[in-house]
Amino acid sequence: MSATVIDGKAIAARMLAATRVEAAALTNEGWAPRLVSISVGDVAAAELYVRNQSRQAERAGVGFEARNYPDTISLEQLTGVLQGLNADPRVNGIIIQRPLPQHIPVKALQRAVHPLKDVEGMHPASIGNIVYNDLALGPCTAVASVEILKTLPLKIEGLDVTVIGHSEIVGKPIAFLMMGLGATVTVCHHMTRQVSVHSRQADAVFVAAGRPGLVTGEMLKPGAALIDIGINRIEGPDGPKTVGDADFDSCAEVAGWITPVPGGVGPVTVATLMKNAVLAARMQMEHYREAYRAAE
């Protein structure tokens, strides 16, 4: 293996330490950051994520409350819950856990969260702000992926980047974020005829397509950075295991840097969520103070 394996846990630890300092400063000003997690129905699928978020929130000095509602709750009732949280100044961020029951469309809930409390960066306004290079409360996974690339000894300006996958919350935002930093970006998707032609020309490749083993070593330029965002459960010889969208072994023989799965983008995504929570608390504090001054 020639690639340097990027330690996402170490990057996340540095981010959480910095976030903790910011959270303490806000708490001293009377604005202790606080997140509320919303899950619906059987929480087994989301339980691991909720526990992890709760642990990282504690490390970051951010309050965390997990709420679970029965799967019989209606969209209207759940929207009412979100409206109450939007109006509560003690709540600075709202997390919508997936999966949700079929009668609860996730996009409807994401739109119902106030943009100032959208710590996941999923509200259409948060996604749209990226077009204007406004990174306040950006989509956590996309922002985390770009932050990882920024830790490498690569000059971002003029960098040739290929993004494989064009989802609204990962692929497309990464493309806009990288363009905002001065990179030249190519976006590939399921209708791209020859993905490898584009990926072999790239200095950095982001892959978020939900297909294990999609990217292989022969698809990479020697020395390129590979940021693997995929999370897939597959059957291995020793039972189920978690893998990314890249064939790690073959890619590690060619790439200069590579993120492991797990332990790469995942921890940095949660750290970005906590950073967003603190940023949201500060934005709300300033919003309320400005409103108070205007009312005087």
Domain segments of the chain as ranges: 29-115, 139-266
Q: Residues 139-266: name the CATH superfamily.
A: NAD(P)-binding Rossmann-like Domain (3.40.50.720)
Cβ neighbours, 10 Å, residue 4: 13
User: pLDDT at residue 35 above 70?
Assistant: yes
Q: Is the pTM of this model over 0.85?
A: yes
- Give helix then strand counts, H and E, for the chain: 10, 11
* Cβ partners under 8 Å of residue 36, min gap 6: 65, 67, 85, 91, 93, 94, 95
Query: What pLDDT does 239 receive?
Result: 85
Q: Can you list the positions of beta strands (E) in 157-210?
A: 160-164, 184-188, 204-207
Cα–Cα dist 183/160, whole Å: 6
Average pLDDT, the chain: 94
In the CATH scheme, what is the code of domain 29-115?
A: 3.40.50.10860
**What residues contact residue 25 under an 8 Å CB cut-off, 6+ apart?**
none
Residue pLDDT, tens place only, 213-252 = 999 999 999 999 999 999 998 988 888 899 999 999 999 9
Q: Percentage of residues in the chain with pLDDT exceeding 90?
A: 85
Domains 29-115 and 139-266 share a fold: yes
pLDDT tens-place string over residues 113-140: 999 999 999 999 998 888 888 778 999 9
Name the packing angle between helices 171-180 and 140-150 (round to 10°).
Answer: 40
Place of tokens 């023989």: 253
